[in-house]
């Protein structure tokens, strides 16, 4: 293999990293096309697809009617026909209008056909709260979809994952749902020059530590990193795990971490009842119970529809301060070790 010179470090916004991923996918494979509401002439509700219509034309950047069930179904049909569709659903709550297509068709066709029918479909969804979009547009439903066999659920939180996870998703023979937290689109930073590809199978240790493991994904990763900085001021070293993929869960990574730190706090923007955090804590209890110095804890969104008012929205959502409080309570309960 010829030596490839390293790319220089460059500053990029999350939305631009996603757009770059889309552009590279469209250039690399003529079977790839993007469709969804306002992805073309308007440039996307979050400006992610801005300029792609002019570059690739209306056959590859397709504005759709306001019918999620119809255009997700069309995406499934295109995938079955050998295309590599990328379907954008404007906000995750709109995906409920296509739930039948996603759960009863995309997720099941491979299994029901004995592997004869693959559905290499990628669905991109804006998820999460924090932008005062009220209860109708502030859902974090990725835990729901992670319940469904036949789907892969990935959550790009970093600039590198925003840039390179789409390529891995398009290479997957199964339907992949990419949940992009709406609060991340404005995130800017340096894109690591050494990263050229990522996978859909492994979690990542974003910060090493010895005293407690913080397990999270998406926008909550940055709240955990902020909390870890605060805790470090008191001599508490928190290890931060970015799950990255929610189905399948890379339990080996977080179980190994918990066995070392002997304590765990799961941070999940979903509601506590029936949440992904409950699944993670169950797996920790099943596999690392005797390694724990204290029961696992979790920080989730309050059990209410997410409020519109800014101060109420902030009170309802996980925060760095709540994570710090949970860690300190865990250490007090289990001893300082």
Instruction: Locate the domains of the chain by residue range.
Output: 11-191, 204-334
Q: 281 in helix, strand or coil?
A: helix
3-state secondary structure 225-255: HHHHHHHHCCCCCEEEEECCEEECCCHHHHH
* Alpha-carbon distances, residue 239 vs 1, 53, 182, 248 (angstroms): 36, 43, 25, 21
**Is the CATH number of domain 11-191 3.40.50.970?**
yes
Annotated catalytic residue 314: no
The packing angle between helices 276-288 and 251-261, to 10°, is 60
Q: Which two tokens stand for residue 120?
A: 């290499």
Annotated catalytic residue 181: no
Strand (E) positions, 17-93?
Answer: 32-36, 61-63, 84-89
Topology (CATH) of 204-334: Rossmann fold (3.40.50)
pLDDT tens for the 337 residues of the chain, in order: 445 555 566 789 999 999 999 999 999 999 999 999 999 999 999 999 999 999 999 999 999 999 999 999 999 999 999 999 999 999 999 999 999 999 999 999 999 999 999 999 999 999 999 888 899 898 999 999 999 999 999 999 999 999 999 999 999 999 999 999 999 999 999 998 888 889 999 999 999 999 999 999 999 999 999 999 999 999 999 999 999 999 999 999 999 999 999 999 999 999 999 999 999 999 999 999 999 999 999 999 999 999 999 999 999 999 999 999 999 999 998 654 4
- Say if pTM beats, i.e. exceeds, 0.85: yes
Among the listed residues 137, 150, 56, 57, the one whose alpha carbon sits nearest the alpha carbon of residue 103: 150
* Same topology between domain 11-191 and domain 204-334: yes
Among the listed residues 69, 30, 26, 29, the one whose alpha carbon sits nearest the alpha carbon of residue 49: 26
Catalytic choice (68, 88, 160, 180): 68
Q: What are phi and psi of 222, to 5 degrees?
A: -75, -30
Q: pLDDT at position 1, please?
A: 42
Catalytic choice (37, 88, 137, 239): 137
Q: pLDDT at position 10, please?
A: 78
Q: Give the separation between CA 237 and CA 248, rounded to whole angstroms.
A: 28
């Amino acid at each position: 293999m010829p030596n490839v010179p390293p790319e220089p470090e460059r500053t990029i916004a999350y939305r631009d990293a996603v757009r770059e991923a889309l552009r590279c996918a469209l250039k690399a494979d003529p079977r790839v096309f993007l469709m969804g509401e306002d992805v073309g002439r308007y440039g996307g509700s979050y400006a992610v697809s801005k300029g792609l219509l002019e570059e690739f034309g209306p056959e590859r950047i397709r504005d759709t009617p306001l019918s999620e069930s119809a255009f997700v179904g069309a995406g499934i049909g295109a995938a079955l026909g050998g295309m590599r569709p990328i379907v954008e659903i404007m906000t995750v709550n709109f995906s409920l209008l296509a739930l039948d297509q996603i759960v009863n068709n995309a997720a099941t066709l491979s299994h029901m056909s004995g592997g004869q029918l693959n559905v290499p479909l990628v669905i991109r969804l804006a998820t999460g709260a924090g932008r005062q979009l009220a209860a109708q547009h502030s859902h974090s439903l990725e835990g729901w979809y992670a319940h469904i066999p036949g789907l892969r659920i990935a959550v790009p939180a970093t600039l590198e994952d925003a840039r390179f996870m789409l390529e891995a998703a398009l290479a997957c023979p199964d339907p992949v749902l990419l949940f992009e937290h709406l609060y991340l689109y404005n995130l800017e930073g340096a894109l690591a020059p050494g990263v050229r590809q990522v996978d859909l199978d492994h979690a990542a240790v974003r910060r090493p530590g010895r005293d407690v493991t913080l397990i999270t994904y998406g926008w909550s990763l940055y709240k955990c990193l902020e909390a870890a900085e605060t805790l470090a001021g008191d001599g508490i070293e928190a290890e931060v795990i970015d799950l990255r993929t929610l189905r399948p869960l890379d339990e080996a990574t977080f179980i190994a971490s918990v066995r070392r730190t002997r304590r765990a706090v799961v941070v999940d923007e979903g509601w506590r009842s029936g949440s992904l955090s409950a699944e993670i804590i169950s797996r920790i209890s099943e596999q690392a119970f005797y390694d724990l110095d204290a029961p696992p804890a979790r920080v989730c969104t309050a059990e209410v529809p997410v409020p519109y008012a800014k101060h109420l929205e902030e009170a309802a959502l996980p925060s760095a301060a709540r994570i710090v409080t949970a860690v300190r309570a865990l250490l007090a309960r289990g001893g300082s070790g």
